[in-house]
Structure 1
Amino acid sequence: MDVQLPFLPFSLLLFINNFLLIIHEAGHTFFGSFGNRFMAIPGGTLLEILFPLLIFVFGWWNHRRITAELGLLLTAFAWSMYWIGMITLLMFLLYPFFERDK
């Protein structure tokens, strides 16, 4: 019996996550090489979001459909991980205020 998976298989998600982790860590090094510590800190997230976006733009500009789709998939994954992290951080910081009333 062939079952259709509604989501991407776990191994593909793990591969995308590890790929974006490497890009994220390279962003700290890349932006830190300019000698400014301020840009080294957000540099990981900047490169993690900009690099897949550049892959998408390259594929779209050169009419390479698969490359554009891959870049769009990576961009969506990077943005979703960024916002999930921000919401989790916000809820972690606001949790003491909600529990104080109980």
Structure 2
Amino acid sequence: MTSDDIDRLARKRAKAKMGWFIHAAIYAIVNLGLIALSVATGRAWAVFPLLGWGVGLLAHGISVWMLPPGGTLLARMVERERARLAGGSKGDPW
């Protein structure tokens, strides 16, 4: 791996981690507001968006923090798309 490849991969991983931090911050802010509204109305409905969105945040965290570095699945998908585009596939809407 060249220095440029390492730099590119490091930037990509840092951006993914920053995206997760932003996602987690927005999750916390919005859900604190929903909990406040739920308490103000005297009902416990805020638990449902909290849990639903929490599952999404967990999946996002797993994809960022626990999957193997380098994203081999993404790399394979990119290579497959490159090969398809190089073949000049007609009728592809993308």
Smaller-chain TM-score bracket: 0.3 to 0.5
TM-score (norm 2): 0.40
Which is higher, the Rg of structure 1 or of structure 2? 2
Greater relative contact order (Cα < 8 A, sep 6+): 2
TM-score (norm 1): 0.38
